[in-house]
Amino acid sequence: MYMKEKESWYVWTDIERDPAQNMAIDESLFLKIPGFSGTPLLRTYGWDSPSISIGRSQIYPDEYAKSHSIVRRISGGGIVFHGSDFTYSIFIPNGHKIFEMGRMDCYRILHHPVVSFYKKMGIDATLAKSSGMPADKSRMQCFVAPAQYDVVSKNGKLAGAAQRRGRAGILHQGSLKLDGISQSRVRILRNFIDAFESWFRVAFVKFPLDAELFSVADSLAETRYSSRSWNVSGEYN
Torsion of CA 127, 29, 209, 174, to 10 degrees: -20
Name the CA radius of gyration of the chain, rounded. Answer: 17
For residue 237, pLDDT beyond 70:
no
Residues with Cβ within 8 Å of 190's Cβ and at least 6 positions away in sequence, in order, are: none
What was the pLDDT predicted at 4?
A: 61
What's this model's pTM, rounded to 2 decimal places?
0.95
Dist. CA 39–CA 54, nearest whole Å: 28
* 62-76, 132-146, 202-216: least confidently modelled range: 132-146
What was the pLDDT predicted at 236?
A: 74
Q: What is the CATH number of domain 7-97+160-232?
A: 3.30.930.10
Cα atoms found within 13 Å of the Cα of residue 233, Cβ hemisphere only: 5
CB 43 within 8 A of CB 91: yes
What was the pLDDT predicted at 135?
A: 55
47-80 pLDDT tens trace = 999 999 999 999 999 999 999 999 999 999 999 9
CB 3 within 8 A of CB 198: no
CB 173 within 8 A of CB 162: yes
CB 152 within 8 A of CB 146: yes
CB 163 within 8 A of CB 76: yes
For residue 141, pLDDT beyond 80:
yes
What was the pLDDT predicted at 219?
A: 98
**What is the domain partition of the chain in residue ranges?**
7-97+160-232
Dist. CA 52–CA 61, nearest whole Å: 9
